Structures are given as structure tokens and as C-alpha cells.
Amino acid sequence: MTRFEVWAPRARKVELVLPDGRLGMRRGDGGWWRRESAPPPGTDYAFSLDGGEPLPDPRSRCQPRGVLGFSRTVDAARYDWSDLAFRPEELSRAVFYELHVGTFSAEGTFGGAIPHLDHLRELGVTHVELMPVAAFSGERGWGYDGVALWAPHTAYGTPDELRDLVSACHERGLAVVFDVVHNHLGPEGNFLPRFGPYFSERHQTAWGAAPNLDGPDSDEVRRFFIESALVWLRDYHGDGLRLDAVHALADTSPLPFLEELRAAVDSLALAVGRPLFLIAESDANDPRLVRPRHAGGSGVDAMWCDDFHHALHALVTGERAGYYADFGGCAELVDALARGMVYAGRYSAYRRRRHGRADPELTGAKLVAFVQNHDQIGNRARGDRLAASLPPARLRVLAGLLFTAPFVPLIFQGEEWGSAAPFPFFCDYRDAKLRDTVRSGRRQALRAGSDDAEDAADPCARETFLAAKLDWRELLQARHREMLDWYRALIALRRRWRWLGAGRFLGPEVRCSEKASWVTFVRGPLQVVAHFGPEPVSLALDPSAPRTPVLASRSDFRIEGDRIELPADTFAVLGPGLPAPSDRL
């Protein structure tokens, strides 16, 4: 027997809709309706409220005909897992790889990603972070407009095909991180308001009404979102979650939603006997996210660090529009390396107020940093990567800084070989009026941070999506193979030396030259020198650090006494040669 249940506290009558007819459901405590039936496995079903049209199950595990169609029963327990001994690398030694299933492979499916996993393993990646795979409207999209939060997106594959992908990752020593969204649902296929008070009457977000996390009947709403997150960890053996834009979670409860989620994940970790972690994206620069719950924090394991990206991007590109207005000099990059966050209580001209909060106990092992990610590429008018505007030599310098900085590094799909594929925003809504709204809204948003908004790629065009697909044939070209070799060497260097793991910030050990665009710092016995300017420079070396080149992006630099002569766009790590046993990871 299968037990069907749905929370619909406002309904007077609820029916279970099956292929052979409708069955009445019995109302229980708390607005829950239940009915037991014995349909064959893989049966399609829906719910009808007060005699209305069939609606998909809010807790559907499968939407075979998309989010507007019937749900389908799934037996997760039937899958034969072989990864029970797998344990992920700890975050301080992790290398994250963010990928979008629909554009990572030519097939754009879970199965299509599997043949490329050996590439990630050989690169040195430890954690594969999947952009949201919860079902959303249409065939293509970024996934941040999901509406069936318990079901994999049908265009990517079946639930078991997602399990196959996770199993294949674990077989190769790759942890899997699911990106989940709790701050809003997409605009098409969102039937939750018909079932109950899932959205707040008091709070608004940039995407509309906020989820009801603190109003009347919010207990069941919070339970819905928390259990939807646990599905990816329990039923799909995910190792962690990346929580989208937690600063947009409108919640005034004494027990904040993130703390309750943390407690639920900890309970699940005990039940399944393996570690599970949480990483949050936040625009608030609030280190209380990563403080333990017993110390008044949310207990999240790490959070994304936009400040490192903004400081580096503004410095090397000269862009100052939007939030880049707060960055642009070497001083901001030094602040990021020395303290983790540039804005930790200081005044932000872009926001016209103080921003962030300082925490002397914060370390780089709590911050995920990047040179590029889906947002920082996709929120540009044409979705152009840095490889479209910067020479390969400078890209190597940026990568060198990422993998020697004291953060947890993340790279975006194709970055490791300098992919030419753009990654603009794209979607596939069925409603023509909604498509027009998205187009105009996209142009308006881009005007605030770009002067080429009118040239933006059409987010609703299929061509925009197809252009974003990685072209793996690029790896047949020498310049792309050379970039890939550089990334491999950097990751191998990071794993070889324990001093290069994520850890304490660099404090006053960071030096820079505003005019000449170079930065240098010491990590243990290693001295890092990065010059991202077009002219040669000469700079003094730390007199106490060894001088043997350990890894360099080019060979035509010279060390003379206590100075190093650097050509344009040069990255170098100097040290004692091979690491001593005590310096190895």
C-alpha cells in the first residue's frame, strides 16, 4: 500500500486523482489529508482541491511531464547504492567545481555528465557542486526558479539517473553538493499557494512574496522546506548543500530557519552515519552564519566570499559599475587576503551605509572564494567569461592567486581550460507574457550595472542556452590544454603543501603596489608573488623566505639578491624546493 498525503489546511475537500478515477481523502490533524491506495510502481497521480483541476503533489519525487503535469510515485529504497564507505575531503583541503547539468555536456543530462567526471578527478577537484536540479518550468534554465523542490528536473533525467551520477562521483572520490533555493519559488508552475499559506503576507523579496517562515501556519511551511533539503542528502546521497541567497530569507523567529535546518541536517548525519555540511551564499558579510549554534551562530560550515572576487575582478578589469564601485585598488585585494572580507563593518559607497561585520575568529576555511562563478559570469549582459577579455597570461595569475589564497577555492565549469563558451542567464517559460516580463526585467537589472544592457542575450531564446554549452573539443587546442595543465599544477601544488590549505588569513604579511599592480605574501615557507600588470616590475622579496622557484607561470623572471624582476603578467611561488614531511598535507 502507498500512503498519499498532502497539507491543505484551507481545503474543504481533497481528492486523490489516479489514472482510473478520483478517490476521496480523509482530513486529519493540522490540515493534513491522507489516503492509502495500492497503485503499481510508477503510477501518475495528482490532488484536486474542492473539486478543482488536478494539481501536482507539492512533495512530488518525480514530474515526468514537467512541473505542470501529474506527479509520479517513486520508490527511493529500491536503488542499490555502492558508496556507503565514501567520505568527502574536509573543507580546508577541498577544491570545488561548480557545474550546470544542462550545459556541462552535449547531452545536458545527468548521464551525459558521467563521462567527464574523470576529467574532474584528474584536475584535482574534490567537490562537485551542482547548480539547482530541482524541477523548474520548461526544458532549460539556471534552476533557481524551481517549483517542485523534491523532484529532479525531468529534462536532466530520472531520479535513478541522478543517483547514478552521484554514485559515479563517489566512485571517483568526488563529493556532491546540491544547490538548493529556499528564499523563493519560480513564477511558473508554483501551485503551493493553492494548497496553503506557503507565502508571507508581511515579507517581500526581490522575486515577490517571501516564503512564510514566521507567520501563522509557518511550522508546516518550514518543515516543507527543510524536508525538501533533506531529500537531496538522504535519497540522493548528497554530501552537502549550497544554500542560495540566505540573506533573502525573511524570518523573525526566535529559532531562525537556518538553525533549524542545521539541526535537522545534523540529525540526518547521525542517522545515516556520514558527515553532511552546509555552505551558504550571503550578501550580508555576516560571520555569524558560520559560528557554531552554541555560540549564537547559524552553524553553517562555510559561506561564499564575494569580496575576494569583487576585489580581484575590479582590479584586473577596471570595471566600476554596480557593486564594483566599492573596489578597484590593490588595497581591497590586500584586505580580502589579510582579513577575509573587505567590508566587515566599513562604509560602502555602493550601499551608502556600513556593511558587514568583523569576527576575529573567522578563518579562510569558512569562506569559499572564486575568480568566476555562475552569477559573476551570468549577471553580465552577454554572459562573457574573463577569457573573452583578458590574455591567457593574466588568467594564469588570477588562478595562481585563487589556489594560494587562504580560502576554499571554487572554479566554474570550463574555467580550467579558458572555455570560450559564455554563460548568460537563460530560461524557458511557457507563458508569452511572462517571457516578455523576464526580457524587460533583465534589461532593467543590467542597466544598473552595465552600459551594454541593450546588447544582452535574449534569456528566452534557445540559442542563448545552446551557446552556453561547454565545447569539450576545445581541449584539442594547444592554448586550452596549456591552461588546463596550469590549473592541474596549481591544484597539485596546493595539495602538496599543507601551508596552502584554507586557514588563517594573511594579516600584515600581504604587500602590494597600487601603481604597479602586484601583490606578494608569505604562507609558511612559501613566498607568493603575483603581478597582473602590462609592464615589467622589480620588487623586494621577503628576506627570510627561501628563493627557489617552486611553480611559475613563466620562466623569464630573475632573482637578484633580495629582489625579483618580473615580466608582465607573472605568477610565481618561491620556496625551499620539495616540501619537508612536516609541510606536506
Q: Which three cell numbers stand for residue 351?
A: 550601499
Strand partners, 300: none
Strand partners, 348: 353
Compute how many other C-beta atoms are within 10 angstroms of the C-beta atom of residue 550: 20
Looking at domain 2-78, its CATH class is: mainly beta
On whether the CB atoms of residues 195 and 7 are closer than 8 A, the answer is: yes
What are the start and end residues of each CATH 2.60.40.10 domain in the chain?
2-78
Q: Known catalytic residue: 244?
A: yes
Give which of 351, 343, 313, 344 is closest to 329, Cα–Cα.
313
- How far is the C-alpha of 314 from the C-alpha of 316, rounded, in Å? 6
For cell 498519499, what's the residue?
A: 4
Cα torsion 465, 471, 472, 473 to 10°: value is 160
120 CB-side CA count, 13 A: 31
Using only C-alpha atoms, the chain has a radius of gyration, in whole angstroms, of 25
- How far is the C-alpha of 530 from the C-alpha of 570, rounded, in Å? 6
**CA 177 and chain centroid, separation:** 8
Question: Is 0.85 surpassed by the pTM of this model?
Answer: yes
In terms of C-beta distances under 8 Å and separation of at least 24 residues, what long-range contacts does 201-205 make, across chains too?
202/250, 203/250, 204/250, 205/248, 205/250
User: DSSP label at 541?
Assistant: P
pLDDT at 581: 65
What residues have CB less than 8 Å from 237, skipping those under 6 apart? Answer: 81, 83, 163, 166, 167, 170, 176
pLDDT at 41: 83
Give which of 49, 91, 85, 53 is closest to 69, Cα–Cα.
53
How many residues in total does the chain contain?
585
Point out the catalytic residue in the list 57, 129, 281, 335. Answer: 281
For cell 620562466, what's the residue?
A: 555
On whether the CB atoms of residues 565 and 536 are closer than 8 A, the answer is: yes
For cell 510508477, what's the residue?
A: 42
User: DSSP label at 240?
Assistant: E
Q: Which three cell numbers stand for residue 89?
A: 575531503
Q: How far is CA 370 from CA 214, 350, 376, 399, 414, in A?
A: 34, 21, 10, 9, 13
- How far is the C-alpha of 372 from the C-alpha of 364, rounded, in Å? 18
Compute how many other C-beta atoms are within 10 angstroms of the C-beta atom of residue 455: 11
- How far is the C-alpha of 574 from the C-alpha of 558, rounded, in Å? 12
On whether the CB atoms of residues 331 and 512 are closer than 8 A, the answer is: yes
What are the start and end residues of each CATH 3.20.20.80 domain in the chain?
91-495
On whether the CB atoms of residues 173 and 128 are closer than 8 A, the answer is: no
DSSP H or E run through 548: strand 548-552
Pairing of strands 408-412, 96-99: parallel
Strand partners, 240: 177, 277
CATH for 507-583? 2.60.40.1180
- How far is the C-alpha of 553 from the C-alpha of 490, rounded, in Å? 10
Q: Known catalytic residue: 281?
A: yes
- Bin 48: left if φ > 0, else alpha if -120 < ψ < 50, else beta: beta
Give, for all 585 residues of the chain, the pLDDT tens digit: 789 999 999 999 999 999 999 999 999 999 999 999 888 889 999 999 999 999 999 999 999 999 999 999 999 889 999 998 999 999 999 999 999 999 999 999 999 999 999 999 999 999 999 999 999 999 999 999 999 999 999 999 999 999 999 999 999 999 999 999 999 999 999 999 999 999 998 998 888 889 999 999 999 999 999 999 999 999 999 999 999 999 999 999 999 999 999 999 999 999 999 999 999 999 999 999 999 999 999 999 999 999 999 999 999 999 999 999 999 999 999 999 999 999 999 999 999 999 999 999 999 999 999 999 999 999 898 999 999 999 999 999 999 999 999 999 999 999 999 999 999 999 999 999 999 999 988 888 777 665 566 678 899 999 999 999 999 999 999 999 999 999 999 999 999 999 999 999 988 889 998 777 899 999 999 999 999 989 999 999 988 888 899 999 999 999 998 899 999 999 999 999 777 666 665
Give which of 217, 182, 219 is closest to 196, Cα–Cα.
217
Q: Which three cell numbers stand for residue 9?
A: 489546511
What residues have CB less than 8 Å from 360, skipping those under 6 apart? Answer: none
Pairing of strands 71-72, 26-27: unpaired
Between the two ends of the chain, the Cα-to-Cα distance in Å is 52
- Burial of 505 (C-beta count, 10 Å sphere; 0-12/13-18/19+): buried
* Angle (nearest 5°) at CA 107 between 101 and 110: 45
- How far is the C-alpha of 509 from the C-alpha of 334, rounded, in Å? 9
What are the start and end residues of each CATH 2.60.40.1180 domain in the chain?
507-583
- Helix axis angle for 392-404 and 478-496, nearest 10°, is 20
Pairing of strands 518-523, 526-531: antiparallel
User: DSSP string spanning 447-460?
Assistant: HTT-S-GGG---TT
Phi/psi for 561 (5° steps) reads 65, -125
Point out the catalytic residue in the list 244, 251, 335, 359. Answer: 244
CATH for 91-495? 3.20.20.80
